[in-house]
Amino acid sequence: MTAPFYITTPIYYVNASPHLGHTYTTIATDVARRYHNMKGVETFMLTGTDEHGDKIVKAAEKNEQSPREYADRISALFRDLWPQLNIRPDHFIRTTDSDHIAVVVGILRKIYDNGDIYYSEYEGMYCYDCERFFNERELMDGKCPDHGKPPEIIRESNYFFRMSRYQQWLIDTLHDNPDMIRPERYRNEVLSFLKEPLEDLCISRPKSRLQWGITLPFDDRYVTYVWFDALINYISALEYPDGEKFRKFWPHSHHVVAKDILKPHGIYWPTMLRAAGIDTYKHLLVHGYWNVEDSKMSKSLGNVVDPVYLKQTYSTDAIRYFLMREMVFGLDSSFSEPSIINRINSDLANDLGNLFSRVLGMFHKYFKGTVPPFDPDAETDFQLDLKADARSTAAAFSAAMENFEFHKGLSAVWEYISKMNKYVDITAPWELAKKKEAAGQLAAVIRNLLEGLRVVSGLIYPVMPETAATMQKHLGLDPEKPFYLLEEIKKWPKIPDNASLPKGISLFPRIDPETILRTETTGGGDPFGIEAVSVPPIKEQIGFDDFSAIDLRAAKVIHAEKVPKADKLLKLEIDLGDHRRTVVAGIAKFYKPEELVGKSVVMLANLKPARLMGVESKGMLLAAVEKSACSVAVLDRDMPPGTPLM
């Protein structure tokens, strides 16, 4: 029997809403899991949120919420996002879950009792944003490489994990298991780090400095360091130590992370496991960054892309395809909307979509919707053998997917699609249809093309499950049945003879970049794009009913950033009490983004959404505007966001 498959994403900090970077990792994890389902393997996928630590306390304070309320709210944003992108984890863990806390406490106690946790005074360079100590070597020009700030010197007594004791063991393990960390460049990075003596890891924070954490079972003046807590999620979710799930899945564990958290996963985690007497994980899969104009997409740089906007604009499958096709797993990739549109138009609309409608169009024209019976002796060798090519495509696809080389898996499928398009050109069914004696050949050609489309629909399943099901339905197969099993996909023929098929549809309409990337003025429009007339005459009188159709609300600006390539526009994240929205306002010439954050503003909440420079704006801020000045209307006293204005 094939071994089960356990796959995890990092658990994401709740100090920021989910963005495209988190989305990529989670989709890649879902794709790998679906691919293993195609092999008929039992799988378990885990994701969740990392909720303790200083970062979260600071973010909660900024939002005027308690850490608990704040963590509840942001964690729900992550949990609710994944199903919208067709990702269905088996478990969503939160580090504030009591089961998780109990496992962390148990492991701390175990390692402490073994003598691998000790108490000592320490003076070191601490980066508050990373929540960890740095050594000289790790700094860049004396500054934290991730946050660009010099660390602060801190002197305090703390508990330390004797990580140094496991240095040689880790080096040996990485040598004995050359594919434990993949791609190889990251294994090498960890090994090169291990060339220097490994320092012990400070694993506590005094409660005088931080309370939002798990109390150490052997000293209640301290909470545990957030990474010591977080990493343990991978086994607490499996109900370590006694859970059946732990026994079944842990030996087949795959952690997917980006390179930012290589060190905790490549060094802290295996040594922690070793010290706790637990076998180490099987594989660590490390990918690169999504960059925007050469900088890592991240909340702190304010250049994040909203996955919900992408899904609404381009469809879930298109986004999943773009992310998996565009990034070479392990390397950085550059994000831009024109590159999504390009991929959709060329790969999805042109190559796949055209082939699908072309083949189904001919099939309906020549066979009136009834599948011609498969004839194994029919002459179909028109320089291209779709059946043999399907086999080799499935093999190339599998080899790539096993290795997390999603882009390669997809390009193997797209090579097959282009062979099929060529097959249509070579066989020219429209010519065969003209000759009576070619009826058998015409049937064989169309039947081969239908089978080829079926293979394509099966192979795209892990990346584009909705498109796969739509194609299957139009090919006369029941999408509820396990059509995605690799073994089934490879069989030829599979479509029932004489099945009657529904008419084809357009899978991916072409996108006109103009409609998405340029300002639209339908719907809400940009009020500030209109030239303001100085002291315009008062408009016609209205009744109270007319006024009450306008829904004005007190709102708070949570975040503001410039809209790239639009010098007038600011993108604002607005709190309306029970939800948040994005609003685009044409006030960038008058306000710096940071001037607006925290302001209690007045918002027209029931304005129809409008798209401005590709960003969907839901509502409008009120402001006094004239040509060279603008003043946003703010409330004289702080009111809870969402309060109606009368």
CA neighbor of 6 nearest in space, from 276, 264, 243: 243
Q: Check residue 161 for interaction with ligand MSP (CB under 6 A).
A: no
Which of 44, 112, 159, 290 is in the footprint of ligand MSP by CB under 6 A?
290
Q: Which span (7-15, 106-114, 186-194, 339-347) binds ligand MSP, by CB under 6 A?
A: 7-15
Q: Which span (30-38, 66-74, 293-301, 405-413) binds ligand MSP, by CB under 6 A?
A: 293-301
For the window 21-50, what string marks contact with ligand MSP as x by the rule CB under 6 A?
xx-xx------------------------x
Which of 5, 6, 7, 10 is in the footprint of ligand MSP by CB under 6 A?
10
Decide if 564 contacts 571 (C-beta within 8 A): no
Name residue, tokens 């990485």.
174
Q: Check residue 125 for interaction with ligand MSP (CB under 6 A).
A: no
The nearest distance, CB 281 to ligand MSP, in angstroms, is: 11
Q: Check residue 258 for interaction with ligand MSP (CB under 6 A).
A: yes
Q: Could you tell me the two tokens for 466?
A: 């909705």
The nearest distance, CB 561 to ligand MSP, in angstroms, is: 15
Give 545's contacts (C-beta < 8 A, 6+ positions apart): none
Question: What one-letter code names the amino acid at 393?
Answer: T
Q: Which span (38-46, 139-147, 230-238, 568-576) binds ligand MSP, by CB under 6 A?
A: 230-238
Nearer to ligand MSP, 257 or 605 (CB): 257
Nearer to ligand MSP, 111 or 471 (CB): 111
Give the H/E segment covering residue 479.
none
Nearer to ligand MSP, 332 or 415 (CB): 332
DSSP 252: G
For the question of residue 127 being annotated catalytic, the response is: yes
- Count of Cβ atoms closer than 10 Å to residue 515 Cβ: 10
Decide if 620 contacts 524 (C-beta within 8 A): yes
Nearer to ligand MSP, 166 or 289 (CB): 289
Count CA within 13 A, CB hemisphere, residue 112: 15
Identify whether 183 is preceded by a cis peptide bond (ω within 30 of 0).
yes
Nearer to ligand MSP, 261 or 633 (CB): 261
Q: Residue 594: exposed, middle, or buried by beta-carbon count in 10 A (0-12, 13-18, 19+)?
A: exposed
Q: Check residue 296 for interaction with ligand MSP (CB under 6 A).
A: yes
Nearer to ligand MSP, 261 or 433 (CB): 261
Q: Which span (17-25, 77-85, 195-203, 509-517) binds ligand MSP, by CB under 6 A?
A: 17-25
The nearest distance, CB 613 to ligand MSP, in angstroms, is: 21
Q: Look at strands 600-604 and 620-621 and give their pairing.
A: antiparallel
Question: What one-letter code names the amino acid at 551?
Answer: D
Q: Which span (71-79, 178-186, 288-296, 451-459) binds ligand MSP, by CB under 6 A?
A: 288-296
Which SS3 state, helix, strand or coil, does residue 76 take? helix
Nearer to ligand MSP, 281 or 397 (CB): 281
Q: Look at strands 283-287 and 253-258 and give their pairing.
A: parallel
> Going along 242-354, which residue ranges are E strands?
253-258, 283-287, 290-292, 295-296, 333-334
Say which of 36, 100, 144, 407 is annotated catalytic: 144
Q: How far apart are CA 586 and CA 583, in angstroms?
A: 10
Name the packing angle between helices 184-193 and 167-176 (round to 10°). 160
Which of 76, 154, 261, 438 is in the footprint of ligand MSP by CB under 6 A?
261
Nearer to ligand MSP, 47 or 448 (CB): 47
Q: Would residue 329 be called left, alpha or beta, if left means φ above 0 and alpha means ψ between -120 and 50 degrees?
A: beta
Site size toward ligand MSP (CB under 6 A) is: 21
Torsion of CA 27, 28, 30, 31, to 10 degrees: 120
For the question of residue 19 being annotated catalytic, the response is: yes
Residues 301 to 320 in contact with ligand MSP, rule: CB under 6 A: none
Residue, CB closest to ligand MSP: 21
Annotated catalytic residues are 19, 22, 127, 130, 144, 147, 296, 299
Q: Which residues of this protein are in contact with ligand MSP, per CB under 6 A?
A: 10-13, 21-22, 24-25, 50, 230-231, 233, 257-258, 260-261, 289-290, 296-298
